[in-house]
Structure 1
Amino acid sequence: RLRAWNRDDSAVLRGWVALFDAWSLVHPSPEGIEATAVAEAVEAVPQVLSLLQLSAGPVPVPALLDLLGQRVAELHEERCEVPYGPREQPAPATTETSADLNALLLDWALEGLAAVGALTLGAGNATLTPLGNWAVWVKLEQICVAAQSPAGNIEQPAADMLLGCARLTPGPARAEYRAWLAARPVGSAVTELLAVARGEDALLRGLAFEALRVVGAPAEPVVRSVVTEAPLRPYALLWLAEYEGADPDDAQDVLSREEATWLWVDTAAAVADHGETGLLVRHLDSAVQGTVPALLDEVRAVGHPRTVQVLVALAAAHPDPALAKAVRRAAFQVHTGGA
């Protein structure tokens, strides 16, 4: 990430967000306070930040202390447990003691957030910096996006989410991808999508890269790193070409003839497994070779592991008996290793 800072402004922002998220580690918590109380304060801080963001200016510390106290009280109520049988109850903390503890924890939180540059402290008030305001806005936007998942795929693993989006039109599918991505850290989401792309299902491979298009810049280093993996190379090259500004209709020009043929077979495998027979026949028109004999020659040579299954399915689906026979012959030659 440090090496990328000189050429990628988004890498700088991602690096700072990691620091912002780790404010409670950057600034050690006060000594002598139970870890539970510290954890509750950390969990309550997003509400404090939201108030600062909505106020768009200095907020008096007493108002922030009142909000922190309310949120901590809500957390206590949410986590209460019904005791079974009689047991000795500890004496409840006094209001004054709770207020003193909350004030101490609020001071720690504000100092920690100031230490990472998210806010500035004045005489009895706190103000979000422009950077802090941006970070809170992004976090709120992620929550809102994650809530907009009409197909309900947010909690699904990547493979199930992609299958759930397979029959959606591009717009709703992208909305699902955004919601799914907003609900998890971008690094783990990208890793999970690429793990699916490395699997045997060609449909999921293509959909995984569609989801990675929604990720954008944070996915670029990882996508670039998989260019050396033969099954992913055509998808990664197309992704990078579009990311760097190429028109989607012209992005195919970055592929060699062999890479384009591999992609044609992989896409045909996805259609054969999940689509209709008519789609497989129409898929012939997308081949770069221009003629079926030329396509069959190059398909035989490309070495895709699904070549035989694709050719058998195409022969069964095509209405032209002569062409179907030629395709079956090609499938047999691949299967037996013939020329």
Structure 2
Amino acid sequence: MWVKLEQICVAAQSPAGNIEQGAEDMLRGCAQLRPNAARAEYRAWLAARPVGSAVTELIAAARGEDALLRGLAFEALRVVGAPAEPEVRTVLDEPTLRPYALLWLAEHDGADPEDAHEILTREEATWLWVDTAAAVADHGEAPLLVRHLESAVQPTVPALLTEVRAVGHPRTVQVLVALAAAHPDPALAKAVRRAAFQVHTGG
């Protein structure tokens, strides 16, 4: 899923003034950068301020409504490394941040990023899928949202829709509507629209 987030960052411009910004504005600026350039910007931003306050700012940015910033905040926390661990552990009880924190901690403890998702429960993985889809829907292109289906843990779209409806993510309806609009298969798009309507009406 991190790869999906990185695919959104497609502009090949150099960092420009983000180091002076607060965490949220810095992350918004980095969303326009390629992944390696973004990591360089995170390092420069972190070097310009005390690590404790930087971590606190990044966690605060992750608590916002923009799912892309949530993912990017934890990418920046990966650059921080060990000094961020205590504060990352404190957010394990927050449903919005728990999947990101679990992945961060697993990778910090040496897990391969490709295998780290195995530590998430099915519900946590589904919640993270919706959150990442929200980032793609807000900041990416329609084909990327369709390809995001491939990253779901569920083996079929009907199974995914059932579990997405149950997971209670606040952006579920918007994600499903965007996916239905983007998907080229009319039958599948219709099923996704139906699921969106059922979530919207509480069915």
| TM-score over 0.5 (shorter chain) | yes
| Aligned residues of 2:183 and 2:189 also touching (Cα < 8 A) | yes
* TM alignment of 1:226-241, pairs within 5 A: 226-241=91-106
* TM alignment of 1:112-127, pairs within 5 A: none
* TM alignment of 1:183-262, pairs within 5 A: 183-262=48-127
* Distance in 1 between residues matched to 2:173 and 2:98, nearest whole Å: 21
1:292 is matched with which residue? 157
2:193 is matched with which residue? 328
Change (3 A) 1:303 1:150: closer
Mapped pair 1:311 → 2:190: no
1:43 is matched with which residue? none
Structure 1 or 2, whichever has the larger Rg, is: 1
* TM alignment of 1:131-150, pairs within 5 A: 150=15
1:26 is matched with which residue? none
* TM alignment of 1:84-95, pairs within 5 A: none
**Aligned partner letter, 2:29:** G
* Distance in 1 between residues matched to 2:127 and 2:15, nearest whole Å: 35
| Aligned residues of 1:151 and 1:176 also touching (Cα < 8 A) | no
* Distance in 2 between residues matched to 1:246 and 1:172, nearest whole Å: 24
TM-score normalised by the chain length of structure 1: 0.55
Identity of aligned residues (%): 86
Q: When the two structures are aligned, how many residues end up with a matched partner?
A: 190
* Distance in 2 between residues matched to 1:274 and 1:161, nearest whole Å: 16
Out of 271, 274, 277, the residue aligned to residue 136 of structure 2 is 271
* Distance in 2 between residues matched to 1:157 and 1:200, nearest whole Å: 16
**Aligned partner letter, 2:25:** D
**Aligned partner letter, 1:249:** E
What's the CA shift string for 1:15-68, capped at 9, x where partnerless? xxxxxxxxxxxxxxxxxxxxxxxxxxxxxxxxxxxxxxxxxxxxxxxxxxxxxx
SS in 2 for 1:168: coil
Mapped pair 1:283 → 2:160: no
TM-score normalised by the chain length of structure 2: 0.92
Identify which of structures 1 and 2 has the higher relative contact order when contacts are C-alpha pairs closer than 8 Å and 6+ apart.
2
* Distance in 2 between residues matched to 1:333 and 1:249, nearest whole Å: 33
Instruction: Structure 2 unaligned segments of length 5 or more: list them.
Output: 1-13
* Distance in 2 between residues matched to 1:283 and 1:265, nearest whole Å: 10
| Aligned residues of 1:190 and 1:219 also touching (Cα < 8 A) | yes
| Aligned residues of 1:209 and 1:239 also touching (Cα < 8 A) | yes
